[in-house]
Structure 1
């Protein structure tokens, strides 16, 4: 199942006790070290180029890309820790994974082009009354998350098909979902039992449907200094 916004994934089977549990593991098409080196060069050019909107856009996008690939690696480490029944390692990697989601959300929030709020408000502006506004917002939320053809225990085949790296979507939707999943893994190790996959799917689907129906507002204006945030995250994770 997808925790992170990966466009490609493959499945591996891990033995846990006397059970076999199926996890989706991330796939990378390139060496992230090359992207990290490119990011360092991009950051070094910031003093001269920071005032150019296209530079800031690419800076946020490249920083987001390197951090998301790091998150893939951390997620894989968490899965392997679960497979080896190493609770301490699982908890450590889980905390780092969740922190990465928060940090990427903050980064994306520093540029107007990466805001969930813009998407939702553009949908609501098409409405001529409150009923339409509610319907159009539900449509917009559904398209970038679960879609609509789920059952109680089976997610839509198109779930996460249109996932986006948008501030608000990561912290408001993916972070709680990832926390639920990783918490369930930790609890199954603590209680020495199999991960309850069917229960997790039900909880995930119920959570997604609640989020789709919610009317929480999200920022439509960028906040923070993109270059300063990107530099801080580079030092935190790659220096």
Structure 2
């Protein structure tokens, strides 16, 4: 089991997504992001933004967001004291703007899974990416399913979207065994309100990009509702 990143945010009354586990301190909140701590720092920052969502607007530390591995259990109860206690075991990350595509993807080797992800995200455009990030942060799978039409339109149609999904799966299959791409939070499993047909299409499009256990959960739900 991997080591996940915990984000230390200012304030203890933040509008966090319900799916996230959080620990309130005297003047701050420790948020379990579901993002791999060992990620490239840029991808780690991207994952924190995608996972935490609007709660970041209240965080005003010019140094960025302090992130620590979930194997560390600080005893401090204030923002500054946690930073002092964790020290070099943590990392400072600068958050990208909503909808920004990480350079780690746009600058990846041609034909790699990372490069294809970057190309797809650039084609979607910042506004659509920001909307997708909000849907992920809120755990709104119905919104994700509705966004499929926008994704298809941005990429040139349903056939182009399906072709991209096939290419992504192929890129993964052609690679040596590897860890899942860092910087993407584990998506919440809260699919009760999604139309079964939309859910089936979503599962098809995300095959090869979601962790196997989450695809299995989607398939289980589809069988239950069929």
- One fold, TM greater than 0.5? no
Higher helix share: 1
Could you state the TM-score of these two structures normalised by the residue count of structure 2?
0.29
Q: Which structure has the greater CA radius of gyration?
A: 1
Higher relative contact order (CA 8 A, sep 6+): 1
Could you state the TM-score of these two structures normalised by the residue count of structure 1?
0.28
